A and B are shown apart, each in its own frame.
Chain A
Amino acid sequence: MTRILAVILSLAMLAAVGAVFLHAPTEVQMGDVQRIFYFHVSSALSAAACYFLVFLGSVLYLRTRKDRWDRFAGVSAELGVLFSAFVLFSGPLWARPIWGVFWRWEPRLTTMLITFALYVAYLMVRSYGDPGERTQRFAAVVGIVAFVNVPLVHYSINMWAADQQLHPPKVELDPAMQQTKLICYLAFGCLVTLLMRLRLNQERQAARLQALATTTHQ
């Protein structure tokens, strides 16, 4: 199954890169740098989806106290942080030639940075806490609380005054751009699924090994 997913992902990524550079037209005002948009937005959407999975895993862990939900939340957070890091990396690269600066403390950028920091903190709680139920419970609570910030990132454009915004409220796309965006969403969907699967299998194996090692020592 993982191999099939890897093949599908490779094809989807090739299609996405091909669409970004060959199919999508060059934006009239921004020029070629606008092509960052496709992976930037797909990463942001993937990060939001991963953060929702952290929330879901955390709620389910608190309800059932099953380790698998804790692992699920942890892996989702790791991927969310990875995709958010790319959003925070590619955004300034896009902003520099368009806005003239790499960074502005405008609502969307600021809320995105806070969200990223919250999930890095979540991963630190998991890494540095003593292994056991207490840390899992604490991490689950942080995972639920941190999710409050995710809708804020999305709605920051409407919630703050228009004169403080640099992100446009609504983007009208050419049909070829729209198709490219959808191909990228599909490729990123495959990427998230494959990475989740690989990391969850690993974490499951690690947990089994840990249990086995404890038994062998006794």
Chain B
Amino acid sequence: MDTGLTYLAIAYGGFFIALAGYLFRIVRRDGELQASVDSLEARAGDNTPGK
């Protein structure tokens, strides 16, 4: 394979891998935020008068 094509493939592959990684990080952070919301809601439920 031509050297130029190899570098081209690495560059574009790298770009899309980095982008996928960043999007994965966003999704994971979303999950963490949702978990925090759930835990706060559970705590608020425990503190409801009558419980």
Contacts and interface: CB of A to CB of B under 8 A. Distances in A.
A39 B16 CA distance: 11
A86 B14 contact: yes
By secondary structure, the A interface counts as helix
Given A32-B5, A198-B26, A89 B33 contact: no
Most buried by A among B4, B5, B36: B4
B18 A85 contact: yes
Contacts of A198: 26
Interface residues of B, number: 24
Given A39-B15, A198-B26, A202-B33, A97 B40 contact: no
Given A36-B11, A216-B43, 8 more contacts: A33-B3, A33-B5, A36-B8, A39-B11, A90-B14, A198-B26, A209-B37, A216-B44
Interface of A: 17, 30-33, 35-36, 39-40, 43, 82, 85-86, 89-90, 93-94, 96-97, 191, 195, 198-199, 202, 205-206, 209, 212-213, 216
